[in-house]
A and B are shown apart, each in its own frame.
Chain A
């Protein structure tokens, strides 16, 4: 993935506790293209005083323009500090490093698409709606939020008329997903991004749907799932670029061992959900414990998330 130098060009309060940042290339050049559902890793604060850099993922929610990206960030006082940093410190002119874009939540071709957004989960779905509006697909966006004042992009979404259903909890309660998802529909993809409650409800309703029909993007790392139980075992990691060999003992992650050895690896969630620490595997067979890679990518074994994934054999060779 490309490393980029960005600069904040514009900052706008677009809803209660939500700021939108328009980002451009620091050198004024073109930015890489992206597709709806994509996110970027932003290095909000560089490593200093022995602290690891503050890296967060944000969905690109702007028009697919080549000279600017747009992200929207909800202030989460109980969060781990990324959103507070964005709200308090990022101003027009602030420079920051980025990696990406990467798309783990792509829009696929289908006759029908149902988009379910909760709160700031609208961000990856907004460009999807924009794209769907240009195709002949039947699509619907159900967008739930605490109150209209807290919901970003209501103005832009008004352009899509009846395709978009806005459900403000303080007026109408929670959105009714049952009428759209109550029965499996052929050739229909469901995209869901929002808080855990919304995703759980979508998963419950889509249980009878074909596998893969529902795709979710989570805000928070999902604890536990995808991580097989059972004891870890130790193994050796060889760094191909330097020839160094490191021992990863049971109970420590590859990432921890790499960081302790001073090897620079970007990471963010440290729980196998964000994809930031994806590292190329040159030899050996990874034991995947992340939620980023798809089945085919897992089987391929060419990359791994070093924050949670381990090794099936005694040795892994990484492209580091």
Chain B
């Protein structure tokens, strides 16, 4: 099923890589921001804030717990976009 997120995956990945300061080649859909890429909780906040700003969505702060890898971020953005 094509979704808004499907079209924006590349953009989300770019934002995440930008904030984690890693090459797009280093990240996979399931590599963990914290354990694999050394992200701390502030890095996660920045990802969330940038996604909100870029896609004009509102993401509940509680979603931070789910936003552990790219795949989960795609889902969170998709759900947020569906609500708005």
Contact = CB atoms under 8 A, between A and B. Distances in A.
A114 B45 CA distance: 12
Interface of A is mostly: mixed
B10 interface: no
Given A112-B41, A114-B42, A179 B61 contact: no
A138 B49 contact: no
A17 to B, nearest CB: 30
Interface stretch (A180-188, A227-235, A261-269): A180-188
Contact of A140 (B42, B49, B50, B61): B42
Interface of B is mostly: helix
A101 B45 CA distance: 36
B49 A139 contact: no
A114 B41 CA distance: 12
B42 A139 contact: yes
11 contacts: A111-B41, A112-B42, A114-B42, A162-B21, A178-B53, A179-B50, A179-B53, A180-B42, A180-B46, A180-B49, A183-B49
Given A162-B21, A183-B61, A138 B46 contact: no
Interface in B25-79: 38, 40-42, 45-46, 49-50, 52-53, 61
B63 to A, nearest CB: 12
A138 B40 contact: yes
B14 to A, nearest CB: 15
Interface in A173-204: 178-180, 182-183, 185
Interface residues of A, number: 13
A114 B50 CA distance: 17
Interface in A131-145: 138-140
Contact of B42 (A138, A178, A182, A183): A138
A283 B52 CA distance: 56
Nearest to B46: A179
A179 B49 CA distance: 5
Interface in A97-146: 111-112, 114, 138-140
B61 to A, nearest CB: 6
